[in-house]
Amino acid sequence: MSTIKIQPFDMANYLGSEEEITEYLRQVLEDGDPAELGAALGNIARARGMSQLARDTGLSRESLYKSLSGERAPSSETLFKVMRALGFQLTIQPSVHRPS
């Protein structure tokens, strides 16, 4: 009998182009969940290289893995440092579903 090895799903393996990364991040931002945003940035960082992100942000790799795990919402300071280091710019536009 042969054994089948199953690898856990890792979104970082599916972020091969800038277009895929941008669309993924856009969809996560639409959901509005800070922990999910942190996890998405972590996936992107792992796809591009966490060591380089650590150098660019001045944060340790351990701190980045913890902050971007999706288990908790990272601080706004960490989110902005990571987004800037990954080359993203946050823009604001009126929501289609504005509160009344």
> What tens digit of pLDDT does each residue of 44-95 get?
999 999 999 999 999 999 999 999 999 999 999 999 999 999 999 888 888 7
Residue at 4 is within a domain: no
Residue at 90 is within a domain: no
Residue at 97 is within a domain: no
Residue 99: per-residue pLDDT = 64
Residue 18 has pLDDT above 90, yes or no: yes
3-state secondary structure 6-65: CCCCCHHHHCCCHHHHHHHHHHHHHHCCHHHHHHHHHHHHHHHCHHHHHHHHCCCHHHHH
Residue at 62 is within a domain: yes
Residue 98 has pLDDT above 80, yes or no: no
Residue at 95 is within a domain: no
Structural domain total, the chain: 1
Residue 78: per-residue pLDDT = 94
Range of the domain at 31: 17-85
Residue 1: per-residue pLDDT = 79
Residue at 45 is within a domain: yes
